[in-house]
Amino acid sequence: MNSQEFREAAHKAVDQIIDYYETIDGRRVTPEIQPGYLAPMLPDAPPQEGEAWDVIQKDLTDKIIPGLTHWQSPNFLAFFPANATYPGMLGELYSSAFTCAAFNWICSPAVTELETVVLDWLCNLLNLPPCYLSTSPTGGGGVIQGSASEAIVIVLVAARDRYLRQCAEGVTDEREIERITAEKRSKLVALGSTQAHSSTQKAALIAGTKFATVEVDKEYKLRGEALRKKIRELKEEGLEPFFLTCTLGTTSTCAIDAFDEIATVAQENPNLWVHVDAAYAGAALILPEYKHLTTSFSHFDSFDMNMHKWLLVPFDASCLFVKSRKPLLDALSITPFFLRNQFSETGLVTDYRDWQIPLGRRFRALKIWFVMRSYGVVGMQKHLYHTMSVGEAFKGMVRGREDLFEVVAEPRFGLTVFRVRGDVGGVEVGKEERSKRANGLTKEVYEKVNAGGEVYLTSTVLGGVYAIRVVTGAPRAEERFVRRAFELLVKAVEEVAGVAVE
């Protein structure tokens, strides 16, 4: 493809993307295809000779788009959203145009320096304590990762290393250090609440440590006393809790752990690395009314939120902040001869390769910069307020039909978790039977609504309670769409429970 062909193809691609967005409301959210649909439609091997863009674009239209689940549709109410926006897309376009695998500062200084600048901007916007800034006396700073799961792997490995180093502190004999390290390593336990995302368990698996869960309270949040008790029990068993993930906005219900209480436990256990997973709901910290949530974060070691979930930056932009970069560098820095350069040697530059798993890295700061500048802080805040107001409207609909539904967890951040009542239709059953019936009906209603393909929802199970989650964080969210989703839910209850509802 030469420059002129690129110009023409890019214009056609942009036109198609705009048309896609302008017609997305009317599309079925989930595709009507069967597993394995694609391979029979494509040749067995790439073409020998290059093809014209028009031919390729036609196949994209006819074969790929029909197999997409439309995450950007306002009828996509599942999981957590993955916001895509035009300024973010422009950032992706330039990022691939420049394609610099900027692992060291010298590999493309602007890539590193813009990342540091936009993450410092974000750090302040989120009201994180100054210790997470790149200029902090503790040597903190932010780095963009691909996902919240990757971020947890990084900090868990850093925490493991820091813990083991501390265990062998003062010992000079190499063999003794090895012995202590090997012995302690087999006893390390990473912790998360029963509601923490599975990524902490996965990170423990990758890092070769044990994993244990801590019970949550009735509001699904981790409390200080339960954590203290768990740590005590593990220590009594001869194990060594070294890492904790606490959560701002759990996946099932958007619960917020009791950070002040956890901070007290962290102070009692100075070797415990505390990580805050705010993958989705962390975005809300840019709003004045949520800023108080960060007051105890200076007692923690790291914080991560995904701008690619709810803050208008297309996937991937997981923003990890650490109070000190030293444990990351101690754990992850390996400098073979070919990576040495005069700038790294001076120690005056940041080489982000030491803050992540891969060596090469993309220019992800660009799309964050474009989004922040195009929307401004006010625009980003408006997006959050708007999507939360759509969530509030949906919550009102659910609460307005208490004869059919009950809310399972306090709705927040645009997420409503609810189920069909076990006594719907006036059926009189005992408590246990009612709960069983509620689970069965909720599952059937959920499956029926999703099978229709007009909207897409997800479900969860909370302490044996089967529930439906509706989340409204997409940029195109509007009340009329959730009203339609609610109508479909009501209709499904009518059909599944065999009751006439008005």
Contact set with ligand PLP (CB under 6 A): 80, 147-149, 197, 199, 247, 249-251, 277, 279-280, 306, 318
Shortest Cβ 490–ligand PLP spacing (Å): 28
Nearest residue (CB) to ligand PLP, 275 versus 401? 275
Q: Which two tokens stand for residue 96?
A: 């691939």
CA contacts within 13 A on the Cβ side of 380? 29
Q: Which of 148, 115, 83 is nearest to 308 (CA)?
A: 83
β-sheet bridge partners, residue 274: 244
Q: Output phi, psi for 240, to 5 deg.
A: -125, 95
Shortest Cβ 415–ligand PLP spacing (Å): 10
Shortest Cβ 357–ligand PLP spacing (Å): 13
User: Judging by beta carbons within 10 Å of its beta carbon (0-12, 13-18, 19+), is residue 130 exposed, middle or buried?
Assistant: middle
Nearest residue (CB) to ligand PLP, 154 versus 167? 154
Shortest Cβ 205–ligand PLP spacing (Å): 14
What residue has token string 């932010």? Answer: 142
DSSP state of 489: H
Nearest residue (CB) to ligand PLP, 249 versus 411? 249
Q: What dihedral angle (degrees, nearest 10) is formed by the CA atoms of 483, 485, 491, 497?
A: -120
Distance CA 152, CA 208 (A): 14
What residue has token string 């007051």? Answer: 295
CA contacts within 13 A on the Cβ side of 117? 13
Nearest residue (CB) to ligand PLP, 141 versus 249? 249
User: Judging by beta carbons within 10 Å of its beta carbon (0-12, 13-18, 19+), is residue 436 exposed, middle or buried?
Assistant: middle
Nearest residue (CB) to ligand PLP, 136 versus 251? 251
Shortest Cβ 254–ligand PLP spacing (Å): 9
3-state secondary structure of 337: helix
Q: Is the dihedral of CA 53, 56, 60, 62 positive or negative?
A: positive
Shortest Cβ 182–ligand PLP spacing (Å): 31
Distance CA 349, CA 113 (A): 9
Distance CA 460, CA 443 (A): 10
Could you give the angle at the alpha carbon of 176 between the alpha carbons of 266 and 331, nearest 5°? 50
Q: Which of 202, 208, 206 is nearest to 189 (CA)?
A: 208
Nearest residue (CB) to ligand PLP, 152 versus 441? 152
Shortest Cβ 82–ligand PLP spacing (Å): 9
Nearest residue (CB) to ligand PLP, 197 versus 383? 197
Shortest Cβ 70–ligand PLP spacing (Å): 18
Shortest Cβ 69–ligand PLP spacing (Å): 15
Nearest residue (CB) to ligand PLP, 29 versus 151? 151
Q: Cβ(452)–Cβ(439) under 8 Å?
A: no
Nearest residue (CB) to ligand PLP, 162 versus 197? 197
What residue has token string 């840019």? Answer: 286
Q: Cβ(328)–Cβ(322) under 8 Å?
A: yes
DSSP state string for 88-130? HHHHHHHHHHH-----SGGG-HHHHHHHHHHHHHHHHHTT--G
Shortest Cβ 342–ligand PLP spacing (Å): 36
CA 303 to chain centre: 12
With a CB cutoff of 8 Å and minimum separation 6, the contacts of 396 are none
Q: Cβ(312)–Cβ(475) under 8 Å?
A: yes
What residue has token string 């069983």? Answer: 436
Shortest Cβ 212–ligand PLP spacing (Å): 18
User: Judging by beta carbons within 10 Å of its beta carbon (0-12, 13-18, 19+), is residue 476 exposed, middle or buried?
Assistant: middle
Shortest Cβ 443–ligand PLP spacing (Å): 21
